[in-house]
Amino acid sequence: MKTYIGVDLGGTSVRVAHVNEQGEILYVSKSDSFAQSGPTVVLNNIIEMIKQVPNYLDASGIGVGIPGPVDTVRGVITLATNLKDFVDFPVAKTLSDALGLPVFMDNDANVAGLAEALVGAGKNEPIVYYITHSTGIGGALVVNGKVISGKSGYAGEIANIKVCDSDEVINHLVPGAVENEASGTALARRAKESIDPTVESAIDFFKLVEANNEQALALIDDMAYKFAVMMASIAHVVDPHVFVLGGGVTSVSHLYLDKVKAYYKQMVHPGMADVKIVLAKLEEPGIVGAAMLSTSYGL
């Protein structure tokens, strides 16, 4: 059975795993990512971690999941918000030269989507659109087992899809962007501003929803509507066989997912209304998907 090495690199920690072709994790280790120490320190640490993996040279390839857009052809990061000096650094080549194995890279949401498409909730579906609904909102398009990253690595950066009219500029996204309207962070901010100034997190907001607070119920309905606007926008371009929803906010999907599905059906052509909308299945989609990047390249 083929095996692969996966690297899940974040701003705080990095994990390295040995994964088989069925998505089973055979070995995993974790370390500080040293994200602010520059690419040489970060990559040397990853190289040493991979060398500690038993029989790592038997792996068919190495995959790396990284936050932010990635140029998958050149093997470089094109926008790094929490990895110092990484933009345009030859990450894939550096790792491959040091370890003697082919190395592939992609965005962390893309690799999570790949895992769900290959061995998770989207298994055996030709076109899978994965959406992560968490502190932010991200996405991944997987077609016939291959992530579609786009010309510059921005495919799936759905956080910037405009879902309402707004003049409020919150961050680098356009006013009315779905991440600023429907993410966990957005819900906490909006609830703090309009319902209760003591709200500090999405968890606080969802407690108000569960207590049937009238304003909170209206806000989650608004969130579901805007989330559905985003999904309908995606669907009219992609027409997926299944939407797979993951991320921390989906842990309370019973509070809003039925609303999302109902609004979605109102926004799309009748022939698209029967698309499957399901929750992610995997406990470790990031590290599994990173490892399985190699399969997208025929290894």
The pLDDT assigned to 246 comes to: 95
Are 28 and 141 found together in one domain? no
Residue-number span of the structural domain to which 15 is assigned: 3-113+284-297
Task: Answer yes or no: pTM beyond 0.95.
Answer: no
Residue 16 resides in a domain = yes
In a domain, 155, yes or no: yes
Which pLDDT score is estimated for 3? 96
pLDDT attached to residue 169 = 84
Evaluate whether residue 72 is within a structural domain: yes
Cα angle 21, 280, 236 (rounded to 5 degrees) comes to 105
Is residue 56 domain-shared with residue 155, that is, in the same domain? no
Asked whether residue 118 is domain-assigned, the answer is no
Does one domain contain both 98 and 143?
A: no
Kindly state whether residues 66 and 136 are assigned to the same domain.
Answer: no
**How many domains does the chain fold into?**
2
Query: Does some domain include residue 256?
Result: yes
Q: Does residue 253 form part of some domain? A: yes
Do residue 98 and residue 174 come from a single domain? no
CATH of the domain at 225: 3.30.420.40
Specify whether 143 is located in the same domain as 249. yes
Statement to judge: residues 185 and 246 lie in one domain: yes
pLDDT of residue 153: 78
Instruction: Give a yes or no: residue 81 inside a domain.
Output: yes
Q: 96, exposed or middle or buried, with CB in 10 Å at 0-12, 13-18, 19+?
A: middle
The answer to whether 19 and 13 are in contact (CB under 8 A) is no
CA distances from 105 to 62, 74, 77, 162 (A): 9, 9, 9, 28
Report how far apart, in Å, the C-alpha atoms of 156 and of each of 15, 56, 99, 133, 138 are: 23, 31, 30, 13, 7
CA separation for the pair 212, 222 (Å, rounded)? 15
Q: What is the pLDDT along the chain (299 residues), one digit of tens a residue?
A: 899 999 999 888 999 999 999 999 999 999 999 999 999 999 999 999 999 999 999 999 999 999 888 899 899 998 877 899 999 999 999 999 999 999 999 988 899 999 999 999 999 999 999 999 998 999 999 999 999 988 877 888 899 999 999 888 888 889 999 999 999 999 999 999 999 999 999 999 999 999 999 999 999 999 999 999 999 999 999 999 999 999 999 999 999 999 999 999 999 999 999 999 999 999 999 999 999 999 988 88
Helix (H) or strand (E) holding 62: strand 62-66
Amino acid 152: pLDDT: 78
> What's the pLDDT score for residue 167?
80
Please tell me whether residues 275 and 139 are part of one structural domain.
yes
Q: Is 100 found in the same domain as 141?
A: no
Q: What is the pLDDT of residue 180?
A: 95
Do 288 and 190 share a domain, yes or no?
no
Residues 235 and 290 in one domain: no
100 and 201 housed in the same domain? no
